Amino acid sequence: MEDRAKDKVLGALFGQAVGDALGMGAEYMSKEKVQEVYPSGLRHYSDIRNNVIGGFQPGDYTDDTEMMEHIVYSLNKEGKYDLMSISQFFRRWYEYGPKDCGLLTSRVLSNPLYRQDPLGVSRLTWEEDNRNAAGNGGVMRTSVIGCLNGNVEEMAADVCRLTHYDPRCVGSSVIVSMVIHQLVYHDYIMTPDEVVQLGRKYDESIEYYVQRATDPDIACLQLDERRKRGYTLKAMGAALWALWHPVDFTEGLVTVVNEGGDADSNGAPAGAVLGARFGYCEIPVEYTEGLNRYTDLKRIFELLIKKGFTYGHLQQD
């Protein structure tokens, strides 16, 4: 069981990074634009010809995985799950000036009061937006929470709220984390009914996207819908579609990212779910070792496993 669980943990974590890095090449494109730029489809990092973010090279990942990476840094440094520590790692990451950072995340992390009261600042920012902001900045980074051995629902909800307080964001982060957790620990695929029941605890609108994800035709999710690119429930829908339909990692991820929209932030949770489902050993080496910081990621992920945060014991405040 331990070897299989480790393979699934590494699959989820590297799957997120791979989905992020490949999806970066189609970020914010319409599906038609993706087909124009990549007439044979976006399948390899070397295919990447165009993206809306300056300064990225093929094989780079974006803020989705950088923020997940900083959750791992906190866990490894503290030797336990510590929400305040995670918030401080997020703040430091922001202060170093990432190449890419979502507007809501930037507003929250730049607030001078964030260091003292991260959840309070996050909630206030959401309220100032009339409780309408529901971006995918929480769900895109949540893969590592699903790999932990502890109260995954509570941890996923709280880590999401560090920047994204809306219940749709919280619910989608909880769902993706729980899906990954069930795959890693029980090799179990949650059913649509189970996901709907979980989502109802957070927001009624979640059910619509769960039902859309049950259709084998991913076009039903309209991932490139202009006014909802970057919407947390779109990213969740992509992850759920990846849970229920693909027969292997590559075809699942390629299908998601070639739909366009916020393709890196759809690819990240979808890649994490695919990696947890099929395992690290089933992710093509060109994807994992082709990441420009593959060695660094492998080191911190293996340290996380060695410290016993996954299928070992988790200390929690």
Residue 314 has pLDDT above 80, yes or no: no
pLDDT in tens, 104-115: 999 999 999 999
Please say if the pLDDT value at position 315 is more than 70. Answer: no
Give the separation between CA 88 and CA 109, rounded to whole angstroms. 9
Predicted TM-score of the model (pTM): 0.94
101: confidence class by pLDDT, cuts 50, 70, 90: confident
Give tens-digit pLDDT for 299-309: 999 999 987 76
CA distance 171 to 263: 20
* CATH number at 2-306: 1.10.4080.10
pLDDT of 1 > 70? The answer is no
135, 66, 209, 196 alpha-carbon torsion, rounded to 10°: -110
CA dist 277 and 10 (Å) reads 11
CB 115 within 8 A of CB 279: no
Residue percentage of the chain with pLDDT more than 70: 95
Per-residue pLDDT of 52-68, as tens digits, reads: 566 788 999 999 999 99
What phi-psi label fits residue 130: left (phi over 0), alpha (psi between -120 and 50 degrees) or beta? left
Terminal CA-to-CA distance of the chain, rounded, Å? 27
Rounded Cα–Cα distance for residues 270 and 16 (Å): 7
**Quick one: pLDDT at residue 50?**
61
Nearest 5 degrees, angle CA 179-CA 72-CA 173?
A: 30
Predicted confidence (pLDDT) per residue in 159-196, tens digit: 999 999 999 999 999 999 999 999 999 999 999 999 99
Average pLDDT over residues 208-213: 97
Percentage of the chain surpassing pLDDT 90? 84
Express each pLDDT in 266-297 by its tens digit.
Answer: 999 999 999 999 999 999 999 999 999 999 99
Query: Would you tell me the crossing angle of helices 232-244 and 263-278 to the nearest 10 degrees?
Result: 30
Sequence-distant (≥ 6) Cβ neighbours of residue 18 within 8 angstroms? 253, 267, 271, 275, 283, 287, 288, 291
Predicted confidence band at 8 (pLDDT cuts at 50, 70, 90)?
very high
Model confidence at 47: pLDDT above 60: yes
Give the integer Cα–Cα distance in Å for 184 and 181: 5
What is the band of 149 on the pLDDT scale with cuts at 50, 70, 90?
A: confident
pLDDT of residue 53: 61
Residue recorded with tokens 């929250």: 108
Inform me whether the pLDDT recorded for 199 exceeds 90: yes
What does the angle CA 147 – CA 148 – CA 151 come to, to the nearest 5 degrees?
125
Helix (H, G, I), strand (E, B) or coil at 262: coil
Domain boundaries, the chain: 2-306
Q: CA 48 to CA 110: how far, in whole Å?
A: 32
**Average confidence score pLDDT of the chain:** 93
Residue type at position 160 = C
